[in-house]
Amino acid sequence: MGAGDSIVRVDLTTESVTNEPVPEEWRRKYVGGKGLGARYLYEELEAGAEPLGGENALLFLTGPLTGHLPGEQRYVVVTKSPLTGAFLDSYAGGSMADRLAGSLGDHVGILVTGCADEPVALEVADGEVSIEPADDWWGLDAREVDERVPDAAVACIGPAGENVVSYATIASDGGDHHAGRGGAGAVMGSKRLKAVVARDESPESPPELRRLRERDEAAFADDETGRWHAASETVETVDFANEVGVLPTRGWQKGRFDGADSVGIEAVREAAYERERADDPVPGGFRVESDDGDTVPRGSTPIALGSGLGIDDFDAVATLGSVCDRLAVDVISSGNAVAWAMRASEEGHLDRDLSFGDEDDARTLIEELATRSSSLGDALADGVEAAADAYGADELIPSVKGMELPSYDPRGSAAMALAYATSDRGACHRRARPVETEAIEGDWTIAERVVTVAAEQDRRAVLWSLIADDFFGEALTPDLGAEWLAASDRAADYAPDELQRVGERIWTLVRLFNVREGFSRADDELPAQLTEPLEGGPNDGSAVAAEAFEEMLERYYEYRGWDEQGRPTTETLERLGLAELAVDAVTDANAKRGDRQ
């Protein structure tokens, strides 16, 4: 067996650990990471499988270049989301990715099924995986678990995962890094899997990969994206979004925040007492002090917990972010859940006084939802759509496929509305973010929006199969990493145009999975809140016109080679080498989805 051509299968119910080969055809057609995870999930799950049941699969995967590429190393968790019922891939950086790649040896990852009777952890070292008891870790937060294993990297759940909060994360480095959106931490909690521990160091790079790394590190440092990232990380997202009028503010009611300067990049620079840098020039991290210890604020924190909640005190925002990190609950969904509750309170739907701008209200609600310790917290723990159903206050916070919108208000960018609506895992600003160009350039045609969104989605599907750091990945765009793959002994050679086809194939495969789960055009709909006009800023009065959006969605389906319901056609499946995957059981899946709703 060669490098990277097997996977470790763990059944927690039977307490068995076995190794099995990855089909060679899968390795060629899907590369690794997201692509390989999507193929395994499609193979392993039957339509309508319960996300929190033992039949759901949970995959921890590296890519063929993990541990070798410049930038922050990343691993991916793939599963069926308890928040959306759709495909979920969630990525995390930090020490876990490096050490997992080193600890797995010749394996590409771990596939976990079943449920343990008592809390357990998976120990990974020297290419072997073992199931170990973890009773004394249950109840600990992310930082406390990390402190128990000072000589290894840990990916763990906190109280939110133990309480199967639908957007619980998988935390590493004491909560500095998270496989965040969609609730992979809840799947871990349902399986009573508290942690995965990687013991070994990063894999050693062969000479050719070291040469490429040195070359591309220098090139990235001079690249526009590299310079931006070195100067401000993702926190500058706050300043950019506020300037162009797409910064979600006070529960998506406005596109500009008067207190943006207090939570944006300048505030972070003033608060940062240590500019943390590894040996690699990209990326670094701003580390600041909060009430609960050190935390690394990123763009999503001051948006979801700052402007989104009307809080303009940077220390308060940092502290709320630290609370989420230690409880291991997604910052974006938590912020949206609290914003929903504040709006619902203002409109008289709740018998509880909650106010925008109140840090204490926000912290109390985050702790309640992470522990399900109140009736409101319990409802919020299942997402804003579930809370709206429980309290009769819908159309307050926009969501797609059950996942709340993140960083940019698409009322200032119609292409961003399309990107959110067609995202495979629910509303996500990382699959494609055309707003960064459209908001500046102005009027785009429908064709420009469609082509831009689809191309970005395909490109990222490839990069997340390598798995490349998001920002360094942008520098790989010309050949999508073909040169790097050719220099690796863990992957085959690809021409750039072939990798483009791989990206489209992976995106289409995930669509097949979601179609099999009962998703259709109705799930790509425009959230009703986005048809209401924004208040303030350069996009004052702007909204996404429903009829124009439907035309754009229809053109997107045509461009993709999907039918009017968003189902890939037979011709498209044949062209992409997916014809052997039957999209059956759709009627049964639709019935199950209807029951769930």
Residue 236: pLDDT band with limits 50, 70, 90: confident
Q: What are the pLDDT digits (tens) for 366-421?
A: 999 999 999 999 999 999 999 999 998 888 999 999 999 998 899 988 999 999 99
Higher pLDDT, 177 or 475: 177
Q: What are the pLDDT digits (tens) for 103-125?
A: 999 999 999 999 999 999 999 99
| CATH number for the domain whose boundaries are 235-404 | 1.10.569.10
| DSSP notation for 567-593 | PBPHHHHHHTT-TTS----HHHHHHHH
Task: Output the average pLDDT for the chain.
Answer: 89
352: DSSP letter: S
Query: What's the CA gap between 511 and 126, in Å, rounded?
Result: 36
* Residue 85 β-bridge partners: none
Please list, residue by residue across 530-559, b when 16 or more beta carbons sit within 10 angstroms of its beta carbon and e when fewer do. beeebeebebeebebeeeebeebbebbbee
Q: Residue ranges of the domains in the chain? A: 6-198, 235-404, 410-596
| CATH number for the domain whose boundaries are 410-596 | 1.10.599.10
Residue 227: pLDDT band with limits 50, 70, 90: low
Q: Return all residues near 442 (Cβ < 8 A) that are at least 6 apart.
A: none
Tokens of 298: 């990123």
CA distances from 557 to 70, 102, 423, 446, 500 (A): 35, 41, 13, 13, 18
Taking CA 355 as the corner, what is the angle to CA 351 and CA 356, rounded to the nearest 5 degrees?
Answer: 140
Average pLDDT over residues 564-575: 95
Q: What are the pLDDT digits (tens) for 425-479?
A: 999 988 998 887 887 777 899 999 999 999 999 999 999 999 988 777 776 778 8
User: Side chain identity at 510, as an amino acid letter?
Assistant: V
Q: What are the pLDDT digits (tens) for 246-272?
A: 999 999 999 999 999 998 878 777 765
Asked if residue 33 lies in contact with residue 465, where contact means CB atoms within 8 angstroms, the answer is yes
Query: What's the CA gap between 403 and 405, in Å, rounded?
Result: 7
pLDDT tops 50 at residue 279: no
Query: What's the CA gap between 284 and 484, in Å, rounded?
Result: 23
Query: What's the CA gap between 275 and 281, in Å, rounded?
Result: 12
Percent of the chain, pLDDT > 70? 90
Asked if residue 155 lies in contact with residue 60, where contact means CB atoms within 8 angstroms, the answer is yes
Domain 6-198: CATH class, spelled out: alpha beta
584 CB burial (10 A radius; 0-12, 13-18, 19+): exposed
Average pLDDT over residues 546-572: 96
